[in-house]
Amino acid sequence: MLKIGLTGGIGSGKTTAARVFEMLGAPIYFADARAKELMHTDELLRKKIQETFGDQIYKAQQLDRKALAKIVFNDEKALEKVNGLVHPVVRKDFHNWAQQQDAPYVIEESAILFETGLYIDFDYLVSVISPMEERIARLQERDNTTVEKIEARMKAQVNDEIRKEKSDYILKNGKDDLLLPQIIALDKVFKEKV
């Protein structure tokens, strides 16, 4: 079974692309979403996050995501710490999940593969690329957030030039591009490789 890493900068449309692969039958591991879950359900991880960022980072048993985002996207060292706690747990969880799948290929959708060296875990890497202005406009609409907050996250991610260099395949997701035919073609490529 092939393991595919599907990534893209914030707001590029990687979750949207992953949903299309899912419609074609590919099992998808949504790493951001699963990380959120594990930060609640994995007792040891939770304890380590509390030890590192203080007990108040969980309020009424819920992670204060806004507070944590404010810390980690404004302080590189803090981001490294949270990544160092969360990512090993997600890696293990992904491999357990992948073993249970029965399909020609599985996909991990994750915002950060190149930033953390995770890309070595995959047979092929796919990046979703969209124009910066469109990403910002989509995020402002989706999250009702500020350009400043979006840019703080972008700074924690590699730029599209590096993504293009390191990826095996690119999915273009600008307003004049059609994702569906690109994904149907890529699904065929992966199935032929098995």
Ligand X SMILES: CC(C)(COP(=O)(O)OP(=O)(O)OC[C@H]1O[C@@H](n2cnc3c(N)ncnc32)[C@H](O)[C@@H]1O)[C@@H](O)C(=O)NCCC(=O)NCCS
Please enumerate, by residue number, every residue annotated as part of a binding site. Answer: 11-16
Helix (H) and strand (E) counts for the chain?
Answer: 9, 7
Q: Which stretch binds ligand X (CB under 6 A): 75-83, 121-129, 165-173, 184-192?
A: 75-83
Name every residue whose Cβ is closer than 8 Å to that of residue 128 and which is 6 or more positions away in sequence. 6, 7, 8, 12, 13, 14, 17, 170, 171, 173
Closer to ligand X at the Cβ: 115 or 191? Answer: 115
Subset of 86-115 contacting ligand ATP (CB under 6 A): 111
Under the binding rule (CB under 6 A), the answer on residue 142 touching ligand ATP is yes
What does the DSSP assignment read for 53-85? H-GGGEETTEE-HHHHHHHHTT-HHHHHHHHHH
Q: Pick from 34, 46, 138, 163: which binds ligand ATP (CB under 6 A)?
A: 138
Residue 156 contact among ligand X, ligand ATP, none, beta carbon within 5 to 8 Å by kind: ligand X
Under the binding rule (CB under 6 A), the answer on residue 14 touching ligand ATP is yes
Under the binding rule (CB under 6 A), the answer on residue 20 touching ligand X is no
Which pair of tokens denotes residue 49? 């996050």
Residue 122 near residue 108 (C-beta atoms within 8 A): yes
- 30 - beta bridge partners? 109
Residue 138 contact among ligand ATP, ligand X, none, beta carbon within 5 to 8 Å by kind: ligand ATP
Q: Pick from 4, 82, 113, 183: which binds ligand X (CB under 6 A)?
A: 82
Contact positions vs ligand ATP (CB under 6 A): 8, 10-16, 32, 111, 138, 142, 173, 175
